[in-house]
Amino acid sequence: MRQAPTLTSPLESDDFQWLDRIAEPVQNAMLRVFGTPAGQRVKDWLNGTPIRHRVHPALVVVPLGAWTTATFLDALEGLASGTDKRAYQASADAAVALGLGVAVPAAAAGIADWVDLYEHMRRVGAAHALLNIAAVAIYGTSLGLRLCGQRDAAKALAVLGFGTVVLSGSIGGDMAYNLGIGVPFMLMPKPPVEWVDVLASDDLPEGKPVVVGVGDTRVMLLRQDGQILAVDQMCTHAGGPLPEGAFNGTQVTCPWHGSVFDLVDGRPIHGPASASLRTFNVREENGRISVHPSYEGERY
């Protein structure tokens, strides 16, 4: 008996494969743009790599808040008169305009995150993006009608736009909480806090990564120029296997999406990763190598 696949969202099913026909050419085009040196620098900032924090979630709160405020002000306008009515109208219009203005950089950051997705996750992200585009178009039309004095039609469109944003936001929640998109893989599992003997010194040659177990955690060791570096073996972006990546001195490039990390302090140099790798202190004594998490302090 064939078991049905487990889905976290209906959008992952084959019924929505038509989204792939939209997503694939757009993704390929954006990868070409971000593949240039200048494009890579822009993508790093859109991913939040230099500041080690995702940019898209921080930006989307502005249009969401602005359009929620506009909906509330539109309702108050219907109950007011005279000067109050005009004040509510002006404030609602300004809130719609603010949301549209910040929606552009928020969308750019979202595209920079989405372009590294694949298969069903890319499909769900495409649906999220299409709904956001529809919301921007609806609110843009609403703003135009407001400026032309057609407020009843403008407010009706704003209600439709708000519903579209709520639906899009629910899909965004699926992406973050159910599919784990953008969730740093370094969060689990937690290694022991004491020093752990992991390897004989002779088993760690110069320039060749070796993966060892530290409790339930897999740690990558690299002997480079006389020092031993130790970090989580998984890329914090999507869990890519760093030991299979390309090494350049004390830097490693993830083989899956090209994130680059400094193995000395774990910081991301190029995205799409924005979270640092966990690092481990190393002690080499009597022909043995021991490690423990650097963020737990010294324990002997």
Percentages helix, strand, coil for the chain (3-state, rounded to 5) are 55, 15, 30
Q: Beta 251-253 vs 217-224: how paired, if at all? A: unpaired
Number of domains in the chain: 2
- How does pLDDT run across 168-187, given as a tens digit for each residue? 999 998 888 767 777 766 55
Query: Using one digit for the tens of pLDDT, what is the confidence trace for 129-144?
Result: 999 999 999 999 999 9
Per-residue confidence (pLDDT) for residue 295, from 0 to 100: 67
User: Do 274 and 164 share a structural domain?
Assistant: no
- What CATH number is attached to the domain comprising 265? 2.102.10.10
Res 274: pLDDT: 83
pLDDT of residue 1: 34
d(CA 89, CA 150): 12
Say what the pLDDT of residue 298 is.
46
Q: Are 166 and 159 in contact (CB under 8 A)?
A: no
Tens digits of per-residue pLDDT, 22-54? 999 999 999 999 999 999 999 999 999 998 888
107 lies in the same domain as 189:
no
Other Cβ atoms within 10 Å of 294 Cβ, number: 16
Domain presence at residue 5: no
Distance from C-alpha of 153 to C-alpha of 147, rounded to nearest angstrom: 12
- Name 282's bridge partners: 291
3 state SS of 59: helix
69, 196: one domain: no
Q: What's residue 68's pLDDT?
A: 96
- Is 119 inside a domain boundary? yes
For the chain, helix (H) and strand (E) counts, in that order, are 6, 10
| Residue 191 sits in the same domain as residue 173 | no
What is the model's pLDDT at position 145?
A: 97
Q: Which parts of the chain have pLDDT scores under 70?
A: 1-9, 178, 184-188, 295-300
- The verdict on 42 and 155 lying in the same domain is yes
Closest CA to 259 of 39, 49, 34, 52: 49
Which domain does 229 fall in, by range? 185-296
Q: Cβ of 213: how many Cβ atoms within 10 Å?
A: 11
